[in-house]
Structure formats: structure tokens, C-alpha cells
Amino acid sequence: MTDYLFDLGNTRLKWATIDSPLSIQALAHDDMRIALPPEVRGETAWVASVAPTPLRAHLLDVLSERFVRVHCAQTQKHFGDLTIAYPVPGQLGVDRFLSLLACVPVTQATLVASVGTALTLDALAPTGRHIGGLIAPSPQLMRLALEGVSERLPSASGEVKAFADNTVDALASGCVLSAVALIQDRWRALEQHVGTPVACILHGGGAAQLHPHLPNATLEKNLVLRGLNVWRKALQTPRMS
């Protein structure tokens, strides 16, 4: 039997085996049920979750029937080269913690931007010290909020343009470019803070949509699962007495 890595987000569940951590599978879920394929079972399940408590509990119930052990990742103040800035580490979402863990060690100060349901930005010093971060609406969430207060706004996706000449493109452009502008602003602010050039990493389900407008950023995939695997390896490594 093998071990599995699970990343439960607000809209999707992603998983991989530790033998093939880059072979990611995923499924969308509703608010109450996860239809995990029956062949997914093994020795140990390593879980990261930012989903609502009922859905998280449902996943853990499913996994407890299929795995001998289930371990849930938690944000920690110090872990390897990473030190979290929050005085109360548990207030930092485990997805952000694991994404940062996947990035360290870094060779220069780095801005890590996660584009999912929310847009989160986290600043890393070259030493692996987490300087801090912020949370904002993602383009998807901005759009849903606008559509929720106006029935006249279109639901079509639209194209991103510097100055749109129709409502569909204007809505898409405003939401995407607002996120881009925030990332650019904090990127510059971090460079001023550390006094050296700063790298930027984009990841998450909406990252590919922003990347054309941030060509100097690096697009990464599955940082949460990769960080979860780092966390797993560290916990399974025997410590010297």
C-alpha cells in the first residue's frame, strides 16, 4: 500500500501518490459530498484542507475508511528553513503555509501569489523568513460579487483589454487587471523593503489567467501538494538523537 497526498480546497479536491507526486488528479466537489474514486486507498493519507468544516469532516471520514492513518497538516511557526511572520501561526491558512514551504529555500526575496477563490500574497525574505502578506478577492470572486449585485451584468467570460468597448470585456478586464495591479504594487513594495530585486511566483487555479500580464513572474503548479510532500518527508525523517 502506498501513501497519498490530498489538497482539499473550496471548489476542488486534488490528490497524488507519494510515488508519483507530480501526477495530479482532481475532481470538483459540492458543499457536502466528495465522490472519491474507489481505487484511492492505501497506508497513510496526508491532508491539507482549507474547506469548510463539514466538508473537511466528510473527507476525513471517507479517508479513515480507506487508509490506516490520516495526518492533517497544520501551520507551524518554524519548519525547516521557513519562519512564519504571524504571532499566532494558526491564523495563516495551511494552504499558504504549505505553498511557502514548497518555495524555500529561495535565493532572493520572493513574492508568492496564490490565485484561487481569494488572492493571497506572501513575502519571503532570502533567509526563508515570512515577512507577511495580504488577502484580497480573486478576479473570480470580484466577478461573482459584481454579478450578485446587478442582474444587468453579463455572465460571459470576456477578453482582457486595456480599454474595453463593451460590458463583457470591461468586466473581465477590470477584475483581472485589478488583481494584476495589486500584485505589481506589492512586488515593487517588497523590492523597496528589501533593497534588492524580487522574484514573483504565481500559482493556483486562476494564475494562468494573470500570467500573460505578469510575464516576469514564474508560473508554478500544485504548490500546496508539493509543500505537503515536503512536510510529510520532514515528519518521516528520523531525527538524530
What is the Cα–Cα distance from 8 to 29, expressed in whole angstroms?
9
Cis amide leading into 105 (omega within 30)? yes
- Residue 166 burial (CB count, 10 A): 12
Residue 136's H or E segment, with its range, is strand 130-137
Please give the C-alpha separations between residue 121 and each of 66, 68, 140, 167, 179, in angstroms, as whole numbers.
36, 36, 16, 29, 11
- In the set 95, 122, 169, 185, the catalytic residue is 95
3-state secondary structure of 48: strand
95 is catalytic: yes
What are the residue numbers of the active site? 95
